[in-house]
């Protein structure tokens, strides 16, 4: 069984966001694999270690910089990579079209991806890829079992846990609580340098959504700060909650 | 324009609050508001949607819609869009809503604004405000199409009662069992007397300073006294004190309650991203330099093991 994992390169989640010339400034920002995609990479590697998958291919669309994200996934244990050169400003539609075309050429049995990217927060691309490829999709998974040509997954649904079964091939997208991604070992990092990565051009796809304005949220101001005996502080905090916030107390 | 359609969310007859939020928000736009409810035996809900301003209620009833499934819902929606040409279709940004909207948008080869926190609609065009980098920045995006498509974040729009006719109409059913390609084997609701994190008016969270399950218990007592949802920072989730579904921050949930109480949370940038838009923020932390105090309306430098039980006693008085 061939597994293909889509990864997006994103800003480190510790990055401070600034806007320069109407764009999000990327100077000096540390780039990482989107944490949700990193979990998908780990999930794919674990399927190979269990003997369920025979090959794990990593796919990224982006600039040359995204090669680092692919190399990291290869160092974790993926077998080979594909980088599709695409403008990082492409919207969800354009990215899905480009990724789906590359996936189709690989014809995998299972497509894994993070359910959301930590940068745009859109949660659209895996679902769109599934639609383009005419495949079923299970979202926000926290576990997977593969047997008899079917994938059965637990998902973190709103207000509960849902177990869903689909026929393979399928697109499955991960929640961060699925697993704990490994750190690449020194040996893995060395091996990754020799693993093949193909670079291909993106198919034509125009973005549909236009960003018309970027801004930073109004900085929240610090208010009252009390450094006093706990009973004094607790009484004042209680008063503030009741009189300013007007909380309701459940008796 | 031919109406703003709101795809409401309900499970087993329980209507989610976000449904009313979206109807109330759509009402402000001025176009006809149509609540679209999929399900089995859901016609009786029409009166509920009418209370918040639904001029019409599109009742989509069939066995195939008893539970959400992507294939049948999308096939049906495509047929209804063709039949009725709504100007905009808004979904809730929930587990099912974002799947439905993303799949529909791709089928129609259109753009989609997900997780919108502010909505402006005109004929064939929508301008939606989205928070990006988990709230560290805001983007206004323009989505065109027929219809304009978006998902709306739960908890940001105000519920405004305002009676409307709520006239029921039933579209032709275009989807069949053959459209279903997922099997939902089970749905186990999270057993909790507390409200859902993203829908709660008050959220009380515990972090590293809780030091373990005993500290979390103290935080829970405050949460329950305030009828609040319980949340946590990454430290308390990674330590296994709380489940991941309760994580607030960049790789967890973004919340915007009326009051957020951070107990023993230092305020790493990933956590601040998930809660800074709360209306009021209170924090209890031993470290006077903790970044959480920079965003707190009311900060207490102190030990949560002492301050929080005393706070609970004071609030009970």
> Span A2-201: which CATH code?
3.40.50.620
Give the pLDDT score at B193: 83
Query: Buried b vs exposed e over B200-231: b needs ≥16 C-beta within 10 Å?
Result: bbbbbbbbbbbbeeebbebbbebbebbbbbbb
At residue A171, does pLDDT exceed 60?
yes
Gap from B18 CA to chain A (nearest CA, Å) = 12
At residue A179, does pLDDT exceed 70?
yes
Domain membership flag for residue B187: no
* Confidence at A206, pLDDT banded by 50, 70, 90: very high
Whether B146 and B211 map to the same domain: the answer is no
In the block, residue with structure tokens 């400034």: A25
Whether B151 and B219 map to the same domain: the answer is no
Strand order of the β-sheet with B280-285 is A224-226, B298-301, B280-285, B259-263, B202-206, B229-232
Write out the DSSP string of A151-216.
EEEEEEETTEEEEEEEESSEEEEE-GGG--PPPPPHHHHHHHHHS-EEEEEPPP-----EEEEEEP
Q: What is the mean pLDDT of residues A108-122?
A: 96
Using the Cβ of B14 and the Cβ atoms of chain A, whether some distance falls under 8 Å is answered with: no
Nearest one of A155, A114, A164 to A136, comparing CA atoms = A164
* Confidence at B317, pLDDT banded by 50, 70, 90: confident
Nearest-angstrom CA–CA distance, B112 and B72: 20
Q: Residue A241: which residues within 8 A CB-CB, separation 6 or more?
A: A247, B226, B259, B282, B311, B315
| A87-A89-A90-A91 Cα dihedral, nearest 10 degrees | 170
Give the pLDDT score at B30: 85
- Helix or strand run (H / E) with residue B105: helix B95-107
Nearest-angstrom CA–CA distance, B219 and B233: 13
Give contacts of A236 with chain B, Cβ < 8 Å: 300
Domain membership flag for residue B108: yes
At residue A45, does pLDDT exceed 80?
yes
Domain membership flag for residue B188: no
Give the pLDDT score at B240: 94
Which of B236, B298, B312 is the best residue to mutate to test the A interface, defined by the most A CB atoms within 10 Å of its own CB? B298
* Confidence at B135, pLDDT banded by 50, 70, 90: confident
Give the pLDDT score at B261: 98
Residue A27 burial (10 A CB sphere; 0-12, 13-18, 19+): exposed
Nearest one of B305, B289, B296 to B275, comparing CA atoms = B296
Q: Do B194 and B216 touch, CB atoms closer than 8 A?
A: no
Write out the DSSP string of A22-80.
TEE--TTPPEEE-HHHHHHHHHHHHHHHTTS-SEEEEEEEE-GGGHHHHHHHHHHT--E
Q: What is the mean pLDDT of residues B176-198?
A: 91
Give contacts of B311 with chain A, Cβ < 8 Å: 234, 237-238, 241
* Confidence at A220, pLDDT banded by 50, 70, 90: confident
Which residues, numbered 173 to 212 in chain B, qualify as contacts with chain A under a Cβ-Cβ cut-off of 8 Å? 181-190, 196, 202
Query: Crossing angle, helix A67-76 and helix A186-194, to 10 degrees?
Result: 120
* Confidence at B54, pLDDT banded by 50, 70, 90: very high
Backbone angles phi, psi at B66, to 5 degrees: -55, -40
In the block, residue with structure tokens 């959220």: B203
Q: Do B246 and B197 touch, CB atoms closer than 8 A?
A: yes
Nearest-angstrom CA–CA distance, B233 and B248: 6
Which residues, numbered 145 to 174 in chain B, qualify as contacts with chain A under a Cβ-Cβ cut-off of 8 Å? 145
**Phi-psi group of A77: left, alpha or beta (phi > 0 → left; psi -120 to 50 → alpha; rest → beta):** left
Nearest one of B102, B268, B108, B90 to A115, comparing CA atoms = B102
Find how far residue A250's CA is from the centre of its chain: 39
Domain membership flag for residue B15: yes
Whether B27 and B116 map to the same domain: the answer is yes
Identify the domain boundary among B179, B211, B235.
Answer: B179
Domain membership flag for residue B155: yes
Q: Do B227 and A250 touch, CB atoms closer than 8 A?
A: yes
Strand order of the β-sheet with B113-122 is A210-215, B137-144, B125-132, B113-122, B148-152, B88-92, B4-7, B33-39, B56-61, B167-169
CATH classification at residue B241: 3.40.50.1220
Total domains, chain B: 2
Using the Cβ of B268 and the Cβ atoms of chain A, whether some distance falls under 8 Å is answered with: yes
Using the Cβ of B115 and the Cβ atoms of chain A, whether some distance falls under 8 Å is answered with: yes
Nearest-angstrom CA–CA distance, A48 and A77: 9
> Which of A139, A216, A233 is opposite residue B302, by nearest beta carbon?
A233
Q: Which two tokens stand for residue B247?
A: 């994580």
Domain membership flag for residue B184: no
Distances in whole angstroms, Cα of residue B95 to Cα of each of A141, B36, B99, B147? 11, 18, 7, 22
* Confidence at A136, pLDDT banded by 50, 70, 90: very high
* Confidence at B134, pLDDT banded by 50, 70, 90: confident
Q: Which domain holds residue B256?
A: 202-316
Here the ipTM equals: 0.94
* Confidence at A35, pLDDT banded by 50, 70, 90: very high
Residue B144, strand partner residues: B125
Q: Do A65 and A31 touch, CB atoms closer than 8 A?
A: yes
Q: What is the mean pLDDT of residues A110-139?
A: 97
Using the Cβ of B217 and the Cβ atoms of chain A, whether some distance falls under 8 Å is answered with: no
Domain membership flag for residue B194: no
Find how far residue B101's CA is from the centre of its chain: 15
Which residues, numbered 73 to 92 in chain B, qualify as contacts with chain A under a Cβ-Cβ cut-off of 8 Å? none
8 Å CB contact of B196 and A245: no
In the block, residue with structure tokens 């949607």: B49
Give the pLDDT score at B192: 81
Whether B117 and B44 map to the same domain: the answer is yes
Domain membership flag for residue B140: yes
Whether B85 and B209 map to the same domain: the answer is no
Q: Do B149 and B143 touch, CB atoms closer than 8 A?
A: yes
Give the pLDDT score at B191: 80
Give the pLDDT score at A214: 97
Whether B212 and B170 map to the same domain: the answer is no
Give the pLDDT score at B196: 86
Whether B170 and B206 map to the same domain: the answer is no
> Which of B134, B185, B225 is opposite residue A164, by nearest beta carbon?
B185
Whether B15 and B163 map to the same domain: the answer is yes
Q: What is the mean pLDDT of residues A60-84?
A: 97
Whether B165 and B300 map to the same domain: the answer is no
Per residue in A186-200, pLDDT tens? 999 999 999 999 999
Whether B33 and B92 map to the same domain: the answer is yes
8 Å CB contact of B259 and A247: yes
At residue B155, does pLDDT exceed 90?
no
At residue B1, does pLDDT exceed 70?
no
Q: Which two tokens stand for residue A97?
A: 């079209």
At residue B302, does pLDDT exceed 80?
yes
Backbone angles phi, psi at A34, to 5 degrees: -45, 125
Most confident of A10-19, B105-114, B191-200: B105-114
Find how far residue A204's CA is from the centre of its chain: 24
At residue A218, does pLDDT exceed 90?
no
Give the pLDDT score at B277: 87
Give the angle subtended at the CA of B37 by the CAs of B32 and B43, to the nearest 5°. Answer: 100
Is residue B38 reached through a cis peptide bond, with omega within 30 degrees of 0 on the bond before it? no
Residue B80, strand partner residues: none
- A203 vs B193, more confident: A203
Whether B300 and B162 map to the same domain: the answer is no
Give the pLDDT score at B190: 83
> Which of B134, B244, B284 is opposite residue A121, by nearest beta carbon?
B134
The conformation of residue B146, written as its DSSP 8-state character, comes to: S
In the block, residue with structure tokens 């579209």: B171
């Amino acid at each position: 069984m061939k597994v293909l994992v889509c990864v997006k390169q994103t800003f480190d989640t510790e990055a401070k966001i600034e806007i320069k010339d109407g764009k999000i400034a990327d100077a000096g920002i540390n780039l990482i694999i989107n944490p949700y995609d990193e979990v998908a990479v780990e999930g794919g590697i674990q399927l190979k270690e269990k003997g369920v998958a025979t090959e794990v291919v990593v796919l990224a669309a982006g600039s040359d910089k995204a090669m680092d994200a692919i190399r990291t996934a290869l160092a974790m244990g993926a077998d080979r990579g594909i980088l599709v050169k695409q403008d990082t400003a492409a919207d969800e539609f354009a990215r899905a079209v480009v990724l789906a075309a590359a996936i189709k050429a690989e014809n995998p049995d299972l497509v894994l991806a993070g359910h959301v990217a930590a940068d745009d927060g859109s949660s659209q691309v895996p679902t769109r890829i599934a639609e383009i490829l005419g495949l079923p999709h299970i979202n926000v998974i926290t576990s997977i079992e593969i047997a008899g040509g079917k994938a059965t997954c637990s998902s973190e649904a709103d207000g509960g846990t849902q177990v869903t079964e689909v026929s393979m091939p399928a697109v499955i997208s991960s929640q961060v609580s699925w697993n704990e991604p490994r750190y690449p070992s020194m040996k893995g990092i060395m091996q990754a340098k020799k693993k093949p990565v193909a670079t291909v051009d993106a198919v034509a796809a125009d973005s549909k959504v236009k960003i018309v304005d970027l801004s930073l949220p109004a900085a929240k101001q610090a208010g009252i700060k009390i450094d006093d005996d706990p009973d004094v502080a607790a009484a004042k905090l209680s008063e503030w909650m009741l009189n300013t916030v007007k909380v309701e107390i459940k008796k | 324009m031919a109406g703003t359609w709101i795809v409401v969310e309900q499970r087993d007859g329980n209507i989610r609050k976000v449904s009313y939020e979206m109807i109330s928000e759509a009402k402000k736009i001025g176009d006809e508001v149509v609540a679209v409810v999929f399900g089995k035996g859901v016609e009786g809900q029409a009166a509920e949607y009418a209370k918040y301003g639904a001029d019409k209620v599109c009742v989509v009833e069939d066995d195939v819609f008893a539970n959400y499934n992507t294939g049948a819902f999308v096939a049906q929606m495509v047929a209804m869009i063709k039949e009725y040409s709504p100007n905009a279709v808004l979904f809730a940004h929930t587990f099912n809503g974002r799947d439905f909207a993303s799949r529909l948008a791709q089928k129609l080869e259109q753009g989609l604004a997900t997780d919108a926190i502010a909505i402006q609609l005109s004929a064939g065009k929508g301008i939606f405000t989205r928070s990006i980098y988990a709230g560290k920045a805001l983007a206004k995006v323009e989505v065109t199409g027929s219809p304009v498509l978006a998902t709306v974040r739960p908890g940001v729009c105000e519920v405004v009662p305002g009676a409307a006719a709520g006239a029921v109409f039933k579209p032709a059913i275009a989807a069949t069992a053959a459209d279903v390609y997922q099997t939902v084997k089970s749905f186990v609701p999270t057993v909790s007397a507390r409200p859902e994190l993203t829908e709660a008016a008050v959220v009380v969270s515990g972090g590293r300073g809780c030091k373990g399950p005993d500290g979390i218990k103290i935080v829970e007592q405050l949460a329950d006294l305030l009828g609040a949802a319980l949340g946590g920072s990454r430290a308390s989730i990674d330590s296994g004190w709380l489940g991941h579904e309760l994580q607030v921050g960049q790789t967890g949930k973004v919340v915007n309650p009326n009051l957020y109480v951070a107990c023993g949370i230092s305020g790493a940038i990933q956590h601040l991203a998930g809660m800074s838009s709360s209306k009021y923020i209170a924090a209890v932390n031993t470290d006077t330099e903790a970044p959480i105090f920079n965003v707190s309306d009311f900060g207490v430098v102190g030990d949560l093991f002492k301050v929080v039980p005393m706070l609970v006693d004071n609030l009970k008085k």
